[in-house]
Structure 1
Amino acid sequence: MFDQEVRLERLLARHRDAAVVEPFTGRPALIRRDQILVADHDAPAAEDLVRRWYDSRQAEPGVTRLRLRSPARVDVCELAAQLGGDGRHRRLSVSPNHLVHGQPLWWSGPADLPRPAAPLPAPAGAAAGDARRPVTVAVLDTGLSPHPWYEGTEWYAEQRDEVTEVVDADLDFELDAQAGHGTFVAGVLLRHAPAARLRARRVIGGDGVGDEVDVIRALAWLAAWGRADIVNLSLGCHTFDDRPSPVLSRAVAALGRRTVVVACAGNAASDRPFWPAALKPVIAVAALGADRTDRAWFSNYGWWVDACAPGVGVTSTYLRFDGTRPRVNGIDPDAFEGYATWSGTSFAAPAVAGRIAGLAASAGLTAVEAADRVLDPATAPTLPDLGVIIRP
């Protein structure tokens, strides 16, 4: 386990407009300074109320980002709470711009690093003709790198240039902390649903960090596109008040009831709600440990978790990369040949999303019908605070 304070310092050094906030002791969150997010229909009212601190606005489908003047030193968490209204009922849909993280990230450092693995055989039955109906899974993540499992497919050719992962953004000849995260998630999905078409969107960087606004923007694009059966979100965050961001909640709701959203439960070893997984319409997935009988030590848990799947020592598709680290006992720790072993709730979530996609395709079901079958506690074992157990 990496030293958490050191990892946090590095994150803040790389994202200089980020800040740690802790309105409640022991329950920190990460936000962008001087930014608040507002749902479209509430933007004019919110803009009028913050005019004395106002700097600029950026309006996009699904969200408006208001930037405040830095010298004003506005507490954006307190401001969001005031604009939203006291008590349980919110008047305006307003939120700070929280940072989101891919989830091998354990608060401020990886629960695990990827390790080179031997090649895996490509999933059988990958031809679309093997399915009774086409199923599309949207992957909002770091993007996708070329891989033999899918680089010859039509769906990858349509989008490869726009979603290619940035694996060494700081040009230090080493992989960024979560480089290959999206490619790894894609492999887990395809192992369970070989005929699925993936639609990737890059919302976090190779360091595993992104903005809530980027996730909302991607969800709004998916809602307008209207062809995603399932959305996989192997990322998330804690919020400053442990309540769901109303802006992100609206973006998820805008996908409609025919789209199934699956998200990782997070790696803080806590029952503190992790968003968007803890949203009511979202299937929250925790990680099982190596023995696949109980919770992985790092996995979140709680009343809001719907399912659990293997999340320790998962093997999947990865990058081709040979770094600068020396051999240890004859083994090169950063020479990857397209496959890796990794741990985290990030990789439990696509196992569940893939199981749903695979059943929908093979049985000709809607994604919602398939999800109901996969998560039916009458036909599958369950664990307290972990939900339905999904095993390979």
Structure 2
Amino acid sequence: MRQNNEVTFSSFKMRFPHLNTSYQKEEFAMCNRWYVTLVLCLTLLLAGIVSGCGPTPPPSTEPPEEATVTPRPLVSEDELAEIRQVCQAWSKEGRERQHEHPEYEDLLYIEGYTIVTGPKEEIERVLESLELSLEQVDAIDLSHLGKYEFMEDALEFLREKQGRSPTDPAELGEIRLYKIIEKESVEQVVCEINKLSAMVEFPVFADPNYHVSPAGWAGGGSPWSQNGEWTGLLNGGGLGEAPSADFRTQWAFGAAGIDLFGNRGVRVRVLEEYRGAGIRVGIFDTSPFTEVGEEEQCMHCFPFDELVGDVLGESAEAEPPLTVWHHRLIPSPNCPGYDRRSEDRKSLESQNISNHGLFVAGLVHAVAPHSEIYLVRVLEDDGCGGLFAIYKGIMMFMDETLQDRGTLEGTVINLSLGIHQPPNPSRFGLPKDVKTLERTLETAVGLGAVVVAAAGNDSFDKLPPESPSQMEMPAEYPFVIGVAASNIGSGRGCFSNRGDVAAPGGNGEILDEETQCEIPNCLRNPNLCLISLAPNSKTGYVYWVGTSFATPLVSGQAALLLEAGVRPADVTGQIKGSAVRSPAYEPALGGGVINLPASLP
């Protein structure tokens, strides 16, 4: 090292001969220090490059700071102002028209609430743009439905009926219930959300939280009322106590009805093989059973043999119990379930019809005793309910079934109820379609369910030659089986709206030329009425009439067809194609009166 150092120093002296020897040595030492420093820096730099090629260090556990991004406005301020102006005028005009019709005012929806459905991000962007004062009260998450696929034949069925493809389950998002905080009317809020969503082509829809009930809503009673008064109903519902022995032999189950039982109340031979085994039927209605505990929802199970006794003569061993679900409901102060005798509506009285749902369940059980029947409480004891409660009940039932089976194939949804929407709703400041309901039921059908709904009882005051009213919603949806009521002569029950098909639902009494559809006296003329379950009756059975009770007979028929291997998408055609058109037939009965034996493959 020393030798090399001398040589290097000699070279240094030769380069700088003008410097004296001592100064040359100092300069040489300084250059050496710079040289060592340079080599050290290059070594460290090279080490850093090599280490960078090694294993990546673990990521930091500290969350990154989120950058605040202001979303781009969906539309301009001028366009927003135009939407507000149009909706303000439209809603004002609609509310004025409602005020002109006492049967509509305050009775269409639950005041101060709106329902919004769509993908979560799109909902947020629409509401932020409109700057509406809304408080989210509840939400139903639909995103988990994305892991289930629509059945191909169900998709074809929906495309045929709707003229378009349904929304993919993965894109459904949420159904939200909002409370309106400021003074905006329900009509204005719904209008603004729908108009902005349509303008920017977002699949976001808003509806009022419509009143829903099993009653013929325009009359306000169950199954209907005259002069605004309830007529002849027992506490819990029903038009008189019925003998339990008459249940199987009632006309609705015989040759004048659906041909379920023979003369002695024995199940007809062709139906012995089919009793609904493996099929699940969901009934969304009232419940007469007391809630237990403070839970958000609770469940009860009741063996059917304890409810119906031995009147069916069936083996109780194969019969699944009646499963009853309750969940909390939003009280509705103004609802068509209330009596409106006082003009100022300050002395409203409610009528208890809590047996309505069990009456329906008893009729499903008679047709399909081995099916799994779920009674989901979505209506109050007086028959009042809100649209959002219907969604919660349906989704609870769908989720339970999908978890159990992975599909809704082999499932029937029974809706013996209707939405209180006036004819030509846009005249009253309301959207024409109830998109939130349509999308919910479309999804159920796409996943394999069959949906059956009551046509409604709004035609009790339609004297010939007037045509009966159109079906209520949801019965009017083309992918839902809407059921009208037939009478013992296979004609239309005088109160019944139009339907896709008809099933026994009873009839009214003719008193004079002006009163041709009075609520019947069933004790005097039981052939005008149907018989089913009522736990608070001394006999366990009561009489009743209405399209509400024609509907479960079709739901039971659908259960038998599904058990027999008929595809869900073909059930509607099978029921309509086998229906009977008697001499008393009229077009309002759709395909005709159902016939169980003829419908089975």
Give TM-score scaled by structure 1 length. Answer: 0.75
1:65 to 174, 177, 185: 177
- For the residues of structure 2 that align with 1:264 and 1:233, how far apart are their CA atoms? 6
Cα drift, residue 197 of structure 1: 1.5
Conserved 8 A contact 2:485-2:502: yes
Structure 2: any 5+ residue segments left out of the alignment? 1-93, 142-173, 225-230, 249-260, 290-301, 308-315, 328-348, 403-407, 427-431, 460-467, 507-527, 596-601
- For the residues of structure 2 that align with 1:155 and 1:21, how far apart are their CA atoms? 49
Conserved 8 A contact 1:63-1:217: no
1:195 to 348, 365, 370: 370
Q: How does 1:101-140 map to 2 (within 5 A)?
A: 101-103=213-215, 107-110=219-222, 111=224, 113=233, 114=238, 115-120=240-245, 131=275, 134-140=278-284
2:190 to 80, 96, 105: 80
Conserved 8 A contact 1:265-1:274: yes
Cα drift, residue 384 of structure 1: 1.3
Q: Name the residue aligned to 2:112.
A: 34
- For the residues of structure 2 that align with 1:109 and 1:132, how far apart are their CA atoms? 33
**Residue 233, structure 1, aligned to residue 415, structure 2:** yes
Partner of 1:85, secondary structure, is helix
Cα drift, residue 388 of structure 1: 1.7
- For the residues of structure 1 that align with 2:382 and 2:449, how far apart are their CA atoms? 29
Cα drift, residue 107 of structure 1: 3.2
- For the residues of structure 2 that align with 1:187 and 1:390, how far apart are their CA atoms? 20
Q: Name the residue aligned to 1:297.
A: 494
Partner of 1:190, secondary structure, is helix
Q: How does 1:158-169 map to 2 (within 5 A)?
A: 159-160=323-324, 162=326
Q: Say what the alpha-carbon RMSD is for the aligned residues.
A: 3.5
- In the comparison of the two structures, how many residue pairs are matched? 341
Partner of 2:445, secondary structure, is coil
Are residues 136 and 150 of structure 1, via their aligned partners in 2, closer, same or farther at CA, if it must alter by over 3 Å? farther
> Deviations 1:340-366 (Å, cap 9, x if unpaired)?
1101110111111112222333x2333
Conserved 8 A contact 1:193-1:354: yes
The structure richer in helix per residue is: 2
Give TM-score scaled by structure 2 length. Answer: 0.51
Cα drift, residue 315 of structure 1: 2.7
Structure with larger RCO (C-alpha < 8 A, sep 6+): 1
Q: Name the residue aligned to 1:4.
A: none
> Deviations 1:269-325 (Å, cap 9, x if unpaired)?
1525511111121111111245331x2222222xxx31122211443332232xxxx
Partner of 2:244, secondary structure, is coil
Q: Name the residue aligned to 2:209.
A: 97
Are residues 285 and 176 of structure 1, via their aligned partners in 2, closer, same or farther at CA, if it must alter by over 3 Å? same
The structure richer in strand per residue is: 1
- For the residues of structure 2 that align with 1:189 and 1:78, how far apart are their CA atoms? 42
Are residues 247 and 160 of structure 1, via their aligned partners in 2, closer, same or farther at CA, if it must alter by over 3 Å? closer
- For the residues of structure 1 that align with 2:576 and 2:219, how far apart are their CA atoms? 28
Are residues 289 and 317 of structure 1, via their aligned partners in 2, closer, same or farther at CA, if it must alter by over 3 Å? closer
Which segment drifts farther, 197-206 or 128-137?
128-137
Partner of 2:559, secondary structure, is helix
Cα drift, residue 144 of structure 1: 6.1
Conserved 8 A contact 1:262-1:352: yes
Cα drift, residue 373 of structure 1: 1.1
Cα drift, residue 101 of structure 1: 0.4
Q: How does 1:139-150 map to 2 (within 5 A)?
A: 139-143=283-287, 148-149=304-305
Cα drift, residue 38 of structure 1: 0.6
Cα drift, residue 30 of structure 1: 1.4
> Deviations 1:204-261 (Å, cap 9, x if unpaired)?
1110111100111122223333346111000111326273311111111111332110
> Deviations 1:359-389 (Å, cap 9, x if unpaired)?
333x233344333211117x64263133122
Are residues 198 and 150 of structure 1, via their aligned partners in 2, closer, same or farther at CA, if it must alter by over 3 Å? farther
> Deviations 1:12-37 (Å, cap 9, x if unpaired)?
xxxxxxxx967466583511111110
Letter in 1 for 2:501: A
**Residue 320, structure 1, aligned to residue 558, structure 2:** no
- For the residues of structure 2 that align with 1:359 and 1:338, how far apart are their CA atoms? 29
Are residues 342 and 254 of structure 1, via their aligned partners in 2, closer, same or farther at CA, if it must alter by over 3 Å? same
Regions of 4+ moved over 6 Å: 86-90, 122-125
- For the residues of structure 1 that align with 2:198 and 2:456, how far apart are their CA atoms? 25
Conserved 8 A contact 2:277-2:370: no
- For the residues of structure 2 that align with 1:376 and 1:355, how far apart are their CA atoms? 13
> Deviations 1:176-222 (Å, cap 9, x if unpaired)?
43121011001111222222221221111110111100111122223
